[in-house]
Every structure is written in structure tokens, then in C-alpha cells.
Amino acid sequence: MQIKLYNTLTREKEDFVPLMQDPNYSGEKKDFVGMYSCGPTVYYTPHIGNLRATFTADLIRNVLKYFGYPVKAVMNITDVGHLVSDGDEGEDKLEKGAKRDGISAWEVAKKYEEIFLTAMNELNIQTFDVMPRATEHIAEQIALVQSLEAKGYTYEVPGDGIYMDTSKVEDYGKLMGPNYKKRLEDLRAGERVDMKGKKNPTDFALWKFSPTDEKRQMERDSPWGVGFPGWHIECSAMSSKYLGEQFDIHHGGADHITVHHPNEISQSECWFWKKPWVKYWLHNEFLQVDGGKMSKSLGNIYSLEDIKAKGYSPLDLRYFYFKAQYGNFQNFTWEALEQAKNERAGLIKKIQNLTQTSQQTSTEDWKLRFDEALADNLNTPKLLSELHSALSKSGSELLPLLHELEEKVLKIWLFSTETPVSQEAPEAIISLAEQRKQAKSEKNYALADELRTQITQAGWEIKDTKEGYELTIKN
């Protein structure tokens, strides 16, 4: 079946033809579909909007695999160099997190990466094939900047950093849409802010110099002096290292369409002198709360722990995400989550009560309907509608098809309310479990109980066994 995806670059729904099958592609030979997703900046607990983006990345990967494509999926961990402002101003988010939590920036990165990975696990989102950390790829980022410098695309702002000269990129901003040149002209015409040495308002930092009047925790030596990479350079360096000079899909949030992703495109296409750097650009829209933006002042920034504290399973939230197509806004309310919970429970009950029927519609027909929904730009609301309809009109003959859909795409535990033992418990949870095991061996039962509480509060169940213990995600 032909998959169609909405490509932000063209503003059209296009047939998905991967590079490995594209007769017009003349680059390096591909034996996989390369997919890169912008991952978290690990300086805070991810909220349910962040998790919707991760869910979308997982969905794209799962659907491609469902249709038989070999996928190599990469999601980065940004653990350095991301300034508060996308305009290359403000405080580094990791440094800000260190001041807030009273720990080092390195500890902040480790702490919130583990929280993020735990949330992924609880939402039945498998880890991606490669999850590179920005701190472990500084050499690649420096090499990229050096290449751009050698090709004449950069300049230095004294005391500030090395910048990309976007005026030398003929089609800079093309991801913004067909009228991107006019939008950029309007931006330049209306520029009233001091550009602080930049030649053009759209120029962006490739490498930032560390301030002379303060000591940063995450500093690196470079050919230009001590500093840290710009945010945009990280994704170009890491995606290209693992997926090649050109690849199939780049995914991220809709907020990246105007700044981050245009910057990625410009530096990468100038680096490789190949176009397009990425064939398909997919973006998920924002998750709203009560019809508006999430904000601290409104107290409506919810984490997965907030969801669980209200008595909901993480898989209720996963089902909720399926109820809106990824490219559309989705509105979260507690009433909507309650409805999602009830619908999921209803599906489980219907499946448990399935009996053999005279088929009103063949399983082949239902298979076609499910596939058509998924192939139509990942139309998950349509998929759920067809699933509910199928369970109302068919019987147990549908079970093999439902098992396949559950195993490969849905992953909401339609066939069991029990979550199996996790084989991918995060290091932080395993560490607590090991500490508890040691405490019990030393008959320090008070400490063992305290550690069990910490494990439970983190969303896990621990069961003692003859071999030691078993860890399962709370459902």
C-alpha cells in the first residue's frame, strides 16, 4: 500500500518514496529508511506536550515498520549548548537547570534524561536505534563548523561567536513555505533590534564563546577558543553521522519550522553541497490545555506523574494521543483523558468478549481499512474509528489482525491489563532496586521500605523473587 505523508517542505501530501527506492536519487546507497527526530533538551521534567512529540516520532517509526520498511531511527539528547532563546541569546538551559536544582549541569542532564527515558518506557515507546548525546559529539560539531568556515559561509562576531552568514544561502528559509522570501524581506525591513554584530537578522550561531566574566560548567576548547556549540549545529552533526549526507525523514515540533529546522537545512546543504538534505519534513502540532497554551502562571503544565497521580495509566494518555492526527492541534482536558480511558477500557472489554460470528465484513476488508487509515498521513483518529467499528461488527476471527495492530502500532495493552516485566528499566530505577536488595540483605528494612516507595512513586512496581526482584511498569 502506498503511504502518503504531509511534507512541510512542499506543503503537500506526497507519496512516500524512500531514497532506497527513489530512481532519481544518486547519492550513497541506502538499505534503510533514515529518520531523525529532534529529542529533548534535558533540563526539566518533560510535560505531556513534549511527550506528544516523542509519541509522534514513535508513531512514524512504527507505521513505517508496519508497512515493511527497514527503519533506522535516531533521536538526539540535547544535553548542552541550547540557549533559552532561539535567537542565540540568554542563559544556557543546562546552566539554568543547575542553578534551579542546586546540582551540577552534568547532573541535571543525567537526572532529566533518566526521567525522560522512564516516561518513554511507561508510554510503551521503545528507545530509538541511536540516541546520541550532544556532549559526546562535540568533535563532529566542530568539524562541521570548520567545513563551513573553509567554504566561506561563516564570520566571527568578536566576543560573541562564529556565525552562519545566511545571505550566502540562496534558498534560506524555504521550509517556511512558498512565500518565504517575502517573509524574510519583511523581517529584515522591520528589524529594529540591535543585532549585536550580526550581519543579518537570520544569521545564527555555530559556535558561541564563553563569557569572560563568568565560568560556565560546560565549556569546550575549539579552534576559535573556549566555548560551546550553537543549538542548531548539534542536530546536523548527529543526524548526518548516523544517517548519512542525505536521508529520508526529519521530524520535530511545529515550533521548529521557522528557526531551528531552516537553520539545520541551510548549514547542512552548504556543508554537503547536496539538495535536498532531507526528503520529507514532518511536524507535529502543539498540545493545548483547556483550549490554550500551557503556562506556569495557569498551573496547567502537566507531567506524566501528574497524569498518574490522578489515577490514570500512561497508556490512557497514549490512547489519548491517537485521537488526534499528529499534524493537528490537540486539546487536553481531564474530561478528554477520562473519555480516552473509558474508550480504551471499552476496547479491552469488547476484545475479551469476542465470540465467533458470521462475518458481516471479512478480515481482509478490515485489514484494508486499518491500512488505508495509517497510510493516509498517519490518520490515527480514522484508525480508532475503524477499530471500534470492527469490534462492533465482527467476532473472534478478527483476533489475529488485532494482535498485529496492537503489537506493531497501538501498544496500549488491548489484550491484557497486566504489563509484563520490563527489560528496559532505566538505570535510576535499577539502581534503587539494587540498593533495596542490599538493604534487605543487611536487614535494614526501614531503608528497604523507603526505597520501595521511591520506586513506586517513579511509576514502577517491584516484586521480590527467588532470583532477586522483578520490575514492572505500573498500569
CA distance 98 to 214: 15
Confidence of residue 166 (pLDDT cuts 50, 70, 90): very high
pLDDT of residue 341: 94
pLDDT of residue 307: 94
Q: What is the mean pLDDT of residues 110-119?
A: 94
pLDDT of residue 420: 42
Choose the weakest-confidence range: 2-11, 39-48, 115-124, 360-369.
Answer: 360-369
Give the tens place of pLDDT for each residue, 197-220. 899 989 999 999 987 777 778 788
> What is the residue whose three cell numbers read 496547567?
300
pLDDT of residue 189: 59
Indicate whether 242 pLDDT > 90: yes
pLDDT of residue 182: 81
Confidence of residue 358 (pLDDT cuts 50, 70, 90): low
pLDDT of residue 417: 53
Query: What are the CB-based long-range contacts (under 8 Å, 24+) for 444-450?
Result: none
pLDDT of residue 194: 61
Give the tens place of pLDDT for each residue, 89-106. 666 788 888 889 999 888
Contacts of 292 (CB under 8 A, 6+ apart): 298
> The whole model's pTM is what?
0.85
Indicate whether 458 pLDDT > 90: no
Choose the weakest-confidence range: 22-31, 237-246, 365-374.
Answer: 22-31
Q: What is the mean pLDDT of residues 301-330?
A: 96
Answer yes or no: are the C-beta atoms of 228 and 112 closer than 8 Å: no
Q: What is the mean pLDDT of the chain?
A: 89
Q: What is the mean pLDDT of residues 35-39?
A: 97
For 426-441, letters b (16+ CB in 10 Å) and e give: bebbeebbebbbebbe
Answer yes or no: are the C-beta atoms of 206 and 161 closer than 8 Å: yes
pLDDT of residue 296: 77
pLDDT of residue 154: 97
For 380-400, letters b (16+ CB in 10 Å) and e give: bebbbebbeebbeebeebbee
Distances 307 to 72, 115, 334, 380, 475 between C-alpha atoms, Å: 31, 15, 9, 22, 12
